[in-house]
Amino acid sequence: MDKISWKNELKDNENLDAFFDHISLKSDATKATYLWILKGIIDFYGYSYSEFDPKCIIQKEYKRLIR
């Protein structure tokens, strides 16, 4: 059985279509950085890559992330 990478799970997540549209014209290095930051945020909160919805994170949770 093939293991699905976290990047593929993110790409298959329809909640992130706007994110991928936004980074589509950026350099490969910038895309990798954006993806790594997004992965870190998702890991920090313990969400699933395939089901993560950025709308579910409220301002209070972002404050917890940057402290």
CA separation for the pair 20, 65 (Å, rounded): 22
- The predicted structure's pLDDT at residue 1: 46
Mean pLDDT of the chain: 89
Q: What is the pLDDT of residues 34-49, one digit of tens each?
A: 999 999 999 988 999 9
pLDDT digits over 13-36, tens only?
999 999 999 999 999 999 999 999
Cα–Cα distance between 33 and 40 in angstroms, integer?
11
| Inter-CA distances, 35 with 1, 8, 60, Å | 25, 11, 22
Of residues 12 and 62, more confidently modeled: 12
Which residue stretches of 1-67 are H helix?
6-12, 17-23, 28-45, 59-66
In the predicted structure, residue 4 carries a pLDDT above the cut 70: yes
Task: Provide the 3-class DSSP secondary structure of residue 10.
Answer: helix
Report pTM.
0.80
